[in-house]
């Protein structure tokens, strides 16, 4: 029953939101109430999975290999909890920062359908069902991305839609081939049945098809171009939830599939993933360093940090996977927060362009602190969460004697710091230029007075501050989070528990 809540609650919220289409106040209330309910139930789920081990439910009461199984091991439960945290923070932030036109066009129901898709993808134990959840999530994200219909949004949306549909088709093809090969799509059953075929040609082809499909979704090295082309176009709240959750679903799928199903002796895939991880880290951060738009810098940083997240998968040791999971926990919270801060900056000065911004340290010192915490955390400055995340990965890399990847990871974190300091220097430190030309165009971008007053509402600050506190807490309580990450990694490395939970039915 607990497993249902992360799917049923957002769906119910979305349906109620559709009924209350005309009453914007009701929609706003529902948006936050639904997110809060999701937050509470998902932490309950995490707690019970932590205490009692993996749990499963068999949808429609079908016996295991036939029907769809929903299963939560520790990794799934952690991811669902993170999705709920981000959903709640963004719902709160949206109250203050999403314009009434979008709210009137079903922003909150869409947000909740997106959350449902994300949670469903984390919880499902069936490959085709994973495809369906991907599509649910993508449909909602397409509309959220294009909602508003500005030129940049539409251009971004076309790229996003095309590449993600490509990925879905590749995924579907792989699912079809897999079904033809082993005759089942239940992940645990596939894992068992594919073992004798582990090094056959068809298995390798399917593995690489899936790597490409999930690679597009996760935005890893040669497949990431859709991300920086689209993530900076929608309103900040939408960017933030995309940045926090969507690519991570791809990373989750990679982690799940390549620790459960495709485990071969030769370790070709981890080697490839390791190389991709290095290239992803490097290209992402180099892109970030040359950009001069707030959200585009952040978008390239997402790409770069996806590299860290798959590094642990590339190392394929328990310590490495634990590092990856810790990194995901840290990154989701930090990058969402940075996007939220970019929105707060935009609300104050009306631009995302670094050249046009400035002087915020003098006028809004609180905002400066809000930026500095996640920014330093992202670059890995102790004692914030990013430091421990990187430390774990570096340590795992040293243990696995992968010196070059460790060197790259450390170098990239310096470059990340550079890109963050660029934002700091331009937006907060330098005095604001006030030549009449820029003044004019800034004025035209600033929303009218009444809306600005609404935008200054404290809700946005609160949700950003809440995430900043979480970052600091993950840093200070690193031992506690690490225990979770290590246990989750342990479950990934030894999938027998996952498999037996899924296939052996107890009492529902």
Which chain residues interact with another protein by CB under 8 A? Answer: 1, 4, 8, 11-12, 14-15, 18-19, 21, 57-61, 70, 106, 128, 131-132, 135, 138-139, 142-143, 146, 149-152, 154-159, 161-162, 165-166, 168-169, 172-173, 175-177, 179-180, 185, 225, 228-230, 232-233, 508
Within 8 A by CB and 6+ apart from 23, the residues are: none
Per DSSP, 461 falls in state H
Interatomic CA distance for residues 19 and 95, integer angstroms: 19
Minimum gap (Å) between residue 488 Cβ and another protein: 25
Task: State how far the Cα of 291 lies from the Cα of 325, in Å rounded to an integer.
Answer: 29
105 vs 480, beta carbon nearer another protein: 105
What whole-number distance in Å separates Cα of residue 217 and Cα of residue 211? Answer: 10
CB of 157 to another protein, least distance (A): 6
* C-beta of 242 vs 484, nearer to another protein: 242
Minimum gap (Å) between residue 306 Cβ and another protein: 19
Question: What Å distances lie between residue 457 and 7, 89, 95, 97, 454, CA to CA?
Answer: 31, 15, 9, 9, 5
* Tokens at 211, concatenated: 């790597």
Helix 318-349 and helix 458-476, axial crossing angle in degrees, nearest 10: 160
Closer to another protein by CB, 9 or 367: give it: 9
- By beta-carbon proximity to another protein, the closer residue of 125 and 386 is 125
Q: Which residue lies nearer to another protein by CB, 57 or 379?
A: 57
Nearer to another protein, 14 or 378 (CB): 14
d(CA 81, CA 263) in angstroms, rounded, equals: 28
**CB of 332: closest distance to another protein in angstroms?**
24
In whole angstroms, the minimum distance from the beta carbon of 60 to another protein comes to 4
Closest separation between CB of residue 274 and another protein, Å? 29
Minimum distance from CB of 481 to another protein (Å)? 31
Enter the tokens of residue 68: 């769809």
Residue number, 138 or 273, with CB nearest to another protein: 138
Residue 56 pairs with which residues in a beta bridge? 71
Q: What angle in degrees, to the nearest 10, is found between the helix axes of 74-97 and 24-52? A: 160
**Sign of CA pseudo-dihedral 176, 180, 128, 79:** negative
**Which run of H or E residues covers position 56?**
strand 55-58
Q: For another protein, which is the closer residue by CB, 185 or 381?
A: 185
Q: Do 197 and 181 contact (CB within 8 A), yes or no? A: yes
Tokens representing 50 are: 């932590």
* Nearest to another protein of 228, 250 (CB atom): 228
Least Å distance between CB 153 and another protein? Answer: 9
Q: What's the min distance (Å) between Cβ of 404 and another protein?
A: 31
Residue 350 Rama label (left phi>0; alpha psi -120 to 50; beta):
left
Query: What value, to the nearest 5°, has the Cα angle with vertex 454 and ends 452 and 456?
Result: 70
**For the chain, the helix, strand and coil percentages under 3-state DSSP, each to the nearest 5:** 80, 5, 15
Q: What is the gyration radius of the CA atoms in the chain, in angstroms?
A: 22
């Amino acid at each position: 029953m607990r497993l249902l809540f992360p799917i049923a609650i957002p769906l119910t919220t979305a349906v109620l939101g559709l009924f209350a289409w005309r009453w914007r106040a009701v929609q706003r209330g529902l948006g936050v109430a639904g997110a809060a309910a999701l937050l509470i139930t998902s932490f309950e789920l995490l707690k019970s999975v932590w205490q009692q081990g993996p749990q499963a439910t068999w949808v429609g009461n079908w016996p295991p290999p036939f029907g769809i199984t929903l299963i939560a091991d520790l990794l799934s439960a952690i991811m669902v909890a993170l999705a709920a945290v981000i959903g709640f923070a963004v719902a709160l932030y949206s109250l203050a920062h999403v314009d009434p036109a979008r709210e009137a066009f079903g922003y909150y129901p869409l947000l909740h359908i997106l959350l449902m898709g994300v949670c469903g993808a984390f919880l499902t134990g069936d490959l085709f069902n994973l495809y369906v959840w991907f599509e649910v999530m993508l449909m909602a994200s397409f509309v959220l991305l294009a909602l508003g219909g500005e030129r940049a949004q539409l251009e971004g949306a076309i790229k996003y839609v095309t590449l993600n549909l490509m990925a879905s088709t590749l995924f579907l093809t792989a699912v079809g081939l897999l079904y033809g090969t082993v005759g089942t799509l239940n992940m645990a059953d596939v894992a068992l049945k594919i073992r004798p075929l582990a090094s056959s040609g068809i298995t390798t082809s399917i593995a690489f098809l899936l790597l490409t499909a999930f690679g597009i979704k996760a935005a890893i090295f040669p497949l990431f171009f859709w991300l920086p082309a689209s993530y900076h176009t929608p309103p900040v709240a939408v960017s933030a939830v995309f940045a926090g959750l969507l690519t991570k679903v791809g990373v989750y799928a990679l982690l799940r599939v390549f620790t459960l199903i495709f485990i071969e002796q030769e370790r070709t895939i981890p080697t490839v993933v390791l190389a991709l991880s290095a290239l992803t880290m490097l290209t992402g951060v180099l892109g970030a360093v040359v950009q001069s738009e707030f959200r585009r810098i952040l978008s390239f940083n997402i790409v770069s940090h996806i590299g860290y997240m798959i590094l642990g998968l590339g190392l394929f040791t328990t310590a490495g996977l634990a590092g990856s999971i810790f990194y995901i926990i840290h990154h989701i919270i930090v990058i969402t927060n940075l996007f939220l801060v970019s929105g707060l900056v935009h609300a104050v000065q009306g631009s995302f362009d670094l050249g046009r911004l400035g002087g915020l340290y003098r006028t809004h010192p609180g905002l400066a602190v809000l930026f500095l915490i996640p920014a330093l955390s992202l670059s890995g400055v102790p004692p914030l969460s990013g430091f421990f995340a990187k430390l774990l990965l570096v340590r795992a890399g040293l243990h696995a004697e992968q010196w070059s990847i460790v060197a790259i990871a450390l170098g990239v974190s310096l470059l990340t710091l550079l890109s963050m300091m660029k934002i700091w220097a331009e937006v907060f430190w330098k005095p604001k230029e006030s030549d009449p030309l820029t003044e004019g165009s800034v004025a035209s971008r600033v929303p009218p007075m009444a809306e600005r007053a609404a935008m200054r509402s404290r809700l946005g600050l609160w949700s950003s501050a809440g995430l900043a506190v979480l970052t600091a807490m993950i840093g200070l309580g690193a031992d506690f989070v690490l225990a979770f990450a290590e246990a989750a990694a342990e479950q990934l490395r030894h999938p027998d528990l996952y498999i037996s939970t899924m296939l052996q039915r107890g009492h529902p």
